[in-house]
Amino acid sequence: MKDHFDLLAPFYERFIHPREPVDLAGFAGLPTEGALLDAGGGTGRISQFLIDQAGSIVVADLSHEMLLEAAQKPGLRSVRSHSENLPFPENTFASIIMVDALHHVCNQSLTASDLFRVLQPGGTLVIEEPDIRKFVIKLIAIGEKLALMRSHFLAPDQIAALFKQPNAKVELKTGDVNAWVIIKKEAAESPLDL
């Protein structure tokens, strides 16, 4: 059975226009020679702008139809996966982005944990979400509930609270309607550092 995103895939970028993610790229520490994961990246509408800023880019999403659209964009590799159980070894990615997707996942806590697991020490994870504290976003959240999208929006500080690992350094940035939670994975101290 197809879900909302499978049905919207061919038209998605007409409704939600791709935009060059200048702020996001800066927050994510790009450019990098390492690999970039676009978690919940759908059609690759954001990562398509980052092709020349990472050694390689993987778009992971649950929607097969969205990933078919992403596969048509040069330089993007698609992987079908739940964000709660990513099929990558730990410490795989130098940078990870998740744009406008955390409110759609089944388990936000498990997603946060698994994203942090696959992030390399010294790497940066950026979660960009609509800021639910803004009135217009509250209206969008109501619309998504009415459309039976099972969305669950979190405020920026609630997203930040998902990253309680001792080696996670978290910073919040806000814009007109979006918020960015920036998580840096610090290198673990070795016994010689103590």
- The gap from C-alpha 72 to its chain's centroid, in whole angstroms, comes to 20
Q: How do the domains of the chain map onto residue ranges?
A: 17-168
Query: In this predicted structure, what is the pLDDT of residue 53?
Result: 96
pLDDT exceeds 50 at position 102: yes
pLDDT per position as a tens digit, 145-158: 777 777 899 999 99
Q: What is the CATH number of domain 17-168?
A: 3.40.50.150
- Its sign, for the CA torsion 160, 103, 122, 192, is positive
Rounded Cα–Cα distance for residues 100 and 26 (Å)? 17
Query: In this predicted structure, what is the pLDDT of residue 20?
Result: 78
Computed over every residue of the chain, the mean pLDDT equals 89
C-alpha distance from residue 94 to each of 100, 144, 172, 184 (Å):
20, 33, 20, 10
- Rounded to two decimals, what is the model's pTM? 0.88
Query: In this predicted structure, what is the pLDDT of residue 9?
Result: 44
pLDDT exceeds 60 at position 12: no
Query: In this predicted structure, what is the pLDDT of residue 150?
Result: 78
Find, among 14, 8, 67, 18, the residue nearest to 43 by Cα. Answer: 67
Query: In this predicted structure, what is the pLDDT of residue 19?
Result: 72
pLDDT exceeds 80 at position 6: no
Which residues pair with residue 129 across a beta bridge?
179
pLDDT per position as a tens digit, 119-146: 999 999 999 999 999 988 888 888 877 7
pLDDT per position as a tens digit, 27-46: 999 999 999 999 999 999 99
Which residues pair with residue 183 across a beta bridge?
125, 170
Query: In this predicted structure, what is the pLDDT of residue 27?
Result: 96
Q: What is the mean pLDDT of residues 158-171?
A: 97
Query: In this predicted structure, what is the pLDDT of residue 56?
Result: 97
Higher pLDDT, 4 or 85: 85
Place 75 in a pLDDT band, splitting at 50, 70 and 90. very high
Query: In this predicted structure, what is the pLDDT of residue 67?
Result: 94
44 φ/ψ sector (left φ>0, alpha ψ -120 to 50, else beta):
left
